[in-house]
Amino acid sequence: MVVRRKKYRPWNPRSYRNLALTPQQRLPEGDLVFFLLDVIEQLDLEPFYSSYEVETRGAPPFDPGMLVCLLLYSYCVGVYSSRKIAKACQRNLAFIAIVGDDPPDFRTISDFRKGHLDAFAELFIEVLRLAAEMGMVGLGNLAFDGSKFKANASRHKAMSYGYMTKEEERLKGEIKSLLEQAQQTDSQEDGALGSKRGDELPQELQRREERLATIVAAKARLEEQARADAQAERQRRAEEEAERQRTGKKRRGKEPKPVSDLPEDKAQTSFTDPEAKIMPQSNKGWDYSGNAQMTVDATAQIIIACFVTAASNDKEQAAPLAQATLENLAAAEVALPRDEVGEAKKIPATLDSGYYSEKAAGEMETLGFDPHMATGRQKHNQGKSTTTAQTPAKTPAQATAKEQMAAKLRTPHGQALYARRKVIVEPVFGQIKAARGFRQFSLRGLEKMNGEWRLVCLTHNLLKIWRRQCA
């Protein structure tokens, strides 16, 4: 027997295991789970229930309200795997506060999430309306930004266009050889087969034909993407040539090579998720990803709009993101800013240089925004312009749209507005990636990735509302 000289607090685990402790007794009064249980009663969950009303046969299903609250809480605290959620429903007191003594299994949770992504889009609007009613949406500065999130696709289940071409020729040759062998086999006597049925050869033939069809479909996707990229490149070169003709400047460097409609040999596509695209990662090479976009309001970092695109850069995303922002504000019944006489005011928006193009800036102004877009990468700790309100920045009479935008950002108002962009939207991505651990999509396909991204942004807004209420 061990002799202990130090005095310890009493410990009797056999008595603890039989105590009937409720979550309300053990969790703090203002815990997130109790906040969500209260909020869920104020939200319109009819889209979740309506899908169950069409079928009255079978055993009673889990209450959709419970599953909605469970998924919202899970995404808030950074638990995204349906298996981990199901395990937490048996071991975690906060999860037990939602599901009680009848926890759903992981398949029920997974199927509910995949089957109600559109309903979560409507719930996003409900939460946005709630945040606006609490005064958390001011529309004084909307910051746009995007970030790459890894797709649920492996780089090892992909193939380049050049290798596909070689593999296609090889499989065609093998299929031809197998067909010839099949014809020879059919011409022989049945007795030569013995006890075998002779169906081994068709299985080999079917396997190769299925792989050939997969490769042909993948090649077609790459060729279609290459044609779209070639058309965009021709448009870009035409705009540059028109600008040179207007300004009289000569082309620098060598004449560019002709645009090709065929993919490069190194162009890749994934077999596990064809809609995922290979994209550069920050300091991590390349991987299959989705480019997640969002619009964030400056007042309380509420996300106004969000979607996922397969484009690796943000050049074409400014106008779609602005349009989505206006649609969500209208759906949430958020009043747009107006001046003293009741005329609609342009909504200030700040975007980094990755979004800038003359076309994007013009489209945003047409939609009713006042875009402040960086036209080039700014150096770290770059000094402010000496321009003052009394001596505004001067632009040439024949200044280009890009020069006018650069001059706009050099004014004191432009500097003050754009300086806030990095503290509005970039911390939101940090909170999602670092604090909540969301770095990879669980679902495959661009539509489902969009649905999951809306769920992530929806729970971000709920966390902001909860913290505002706690404060």
> Beta 142-150 vs 158-160: how paired, if at all?
unpaired
Burial of 174 (C-beta count, 10 Å sphere; 0-12/13-18/19+)? middle
Residues 289 and 369 in one domain: yes
Residues 391 and 304 in one domain: yes
- For 159, phi then psi, to 5°, come to -150, 145
User: Residue 396's pLDDT is what?
Assistant: 56
Pair 350, 141: CB distance under 8 Å: yes
Task: Tell me, yes or no, whether 265 lies in a domain.
Answer: yes
Task: Tell me, yes or no, whether 191 lies in a domain.
Answer: no
Q: For the chain, what is the radius of gyration of the CA atoms?
A: 29
Residues 284 and 359 in one domain: yes
Task: Tell me, yes or no, whether 108 lies in a domain.
Answer: yes
Residues 389 and 302 in one domain: yes
Residue 321, Cβ neighbours under 10 Å: how many? 26
Residues 169 and 70 in one domain: no
β-bridge partners, 270 = 158
User: Residue 381's pLDDT is what?
Assistant: 52
Pair 441, 290: CB distance under 8 Å: yes
**In angstroms, rounded to a whole number, what is the distance separating the alpha carbons of residues 296 and 432?**
13
Residues 81 and 171 in one domain: no
3-state class (DSSP) for residue 188:
coil
User: Residue 159's pLDDT is what?
Assistant: 65
Q: How many domains does the chain contain in total? A: 3
Residue with tokens 């889209």: 47
Q: 0.85 cut: is pTM over it?
A: no
Residue 106, Cβ neighbours under 10 Å: how many? 15
User: Residue 383's pLDDT is what?
Assistant: 43
Residues 228 and 281 in one domain: no
Residue with tokens 């979740």: 48
User: Residue 387's pLDDT is what?
Assistant: 44
Residues 415 and 301 in one domain: yes
Q: Among 127, 182, 147, which Cα is nearest to 460's?
A: 127
Q: Among 247, 238, 245, 171, which Cα is nearest to 208's?
A: 171
Task: Tell me, yes or no, whether 467 lies in a domain.
Answer: no
User: Residue 25's pLDDT is what?
Assistant: 83
Domain that includes residue 223, residue range: 156-186+199-247+260-270
**In angstroms, rounded to a whole number, what is the distance separating the alpha carbons of residues 291 and 320?**
13
Task: Tell me, yes or no, whether 435 lies in a domain.
Answer: yes
Write out the chain's pLDDT in tens, 471 residues.
667 777 878 888 777 777 777 888 888 888 999 999 999 999 999 999 988 888 777 788 899 999 999 999 999 999 999 999 999 999 999 999 999 889 999 999 999 999 999 999 999 999 999 999 999 999 999 999 999 998 888 766 666 666 567 766 776 676 677 676 766 666 654 555 555 555 555 676 677 777 667 777 776 766 777 777 777 777 777 877 777 777 777 777 777 778 777 777 767 777 677 777 778 877 677 888 899 999 999 999 999 999 999 888 888 899 999 999 999 999 999 999 888 877 889 999 999 988 998 889 999 999 999 999 998 776 655 545 444 444 444 455 567 888 888 999 999 999 999 999 999 999 999 999 999 999 999 988 899 999 999 999 999 999 999 999 887
Asked whether the CA dihedral 42, 43, 44, 45 is positive or negative, the reply is negative
Residues 144 and 205 in one domain: no
Q: What is the CATH number of the domain that holds 307?
A: 3.30.420
User: Residue 55's pLDDT is what?
Assistant: 74
Residues 439 and 291 in one domain: yes
Residues 143 and 166 in one domain: no
- Return the structure tokens found at 83: 């298996």
Which of 65, 85, 115 is the C-terminal boundary of a domain? Answer: 115
Residue 304, Cβ neighbours under 10 Å: how many? 27
Give the HSE-up count for residue 191: Cα atoms under 13 Å, Cβ half-sphere.
0
Helix, strand, coil share (%) of the chain residues, nearest 5: 50, 10, 35
Residues 266 and 286 in one domain: no
**What's the chain's length in residues?**
471
Task: Tell me, yes or no, whether 436 lies in a domain.
Answer: yes
Task: Tell me, yes or no, whether 162 lies in a domain.
Answer: yes
User: Residue 261's pLDDT is what?
Assistant: 76
